[in-house]
Amino acid sequence: HDPQVVCADGAGPYRPPESNENTQPVEIRFTDEMSEFVFRPIRLLLVLDGQCVALWAPGEDGEREPSAPNERALFQGALAEGVHGVDVYLEYNNIPRGPGYPLSLRFQIVSHHSFDVEESQTGVLEIRAYESGNPTTPIEERPAVDFEWRSE
């Protein structure tokens, strides 16, 4: 089954501020490129302009469903023209693979990105979790996130 995308307790879906400003269509997507042999996703929280947009939690035990998509849309809606900010909170567990592998580590990635919604443009913000470095990079230095904003 596909885990549900919901907001944290007490928070509703994102509601843009009421204004007379022009709005433009925006989509925010997440891609998980972390090695499924090393890292298990535990939680992803996306905050847009200080409001909860999505909390994706495949399970506290971190089991990744074999059919769970590595890509998902987290937000599709309209935003006022101007600068907006997103905060991303990602949490992973490692998967111990025998002697020499650390046991049960939890990794947290916290990152912020600002983007500018322009007049008469459709925007897409791609958020990508990936492993930085190479095979000799210590495991605790590998989790990373980057952002790519495109206006069309």
CA quadruple 95, 32, 82, 11: dihedral positive or negative?
negative
Average predicted confidence (pLDDT) for the chain? 78
- Specify the pLDDT at position 150: 94
**68-108 confidence digits (pLDDT tens):** 557 888 888 889 999 999 999 988 887 766 666 656 778 88
Query: Widest CA span of the chain, in angstroms?
Result: 61
Whose CA is closest to 125, among 89, 79, 94? 79
Dihedrals phi, psi of 78, to nearest 5 degrees: -115, 140
CB neighbours of residue 63 within 10 Å: 13
- Specify the pLDDT at position 116: 94
List CB contacts of 141: < 8 A, sequence separation 6 or more. Answer: 132, 133
For residues 74 and 56, the model is more confident at 74
| Helix extents (H) in 42-128 | none
Interatomic CA distance for residues 146 and 130, integer angstroms: 8
67 pLDDT higher than 60: no
19 pLDDT higher than 60: no
Whose CA is closest to 55, among 41, 70, 65, 43? 43
Amino acid occupying residue 5: V
- Specify the pLDDT at position 133: 82
- Specify the pLDDT at position 1: 28
pLDDT above 70: percentage of residues in the chain: 72
| Helix extents (H) in 1-152 | none
pTM for the full predicted model: 0.78
pLDDT band at 147 (very low <50, low <70, confident <90, very high): very high
- Specify the pLDDT at position 101: 61
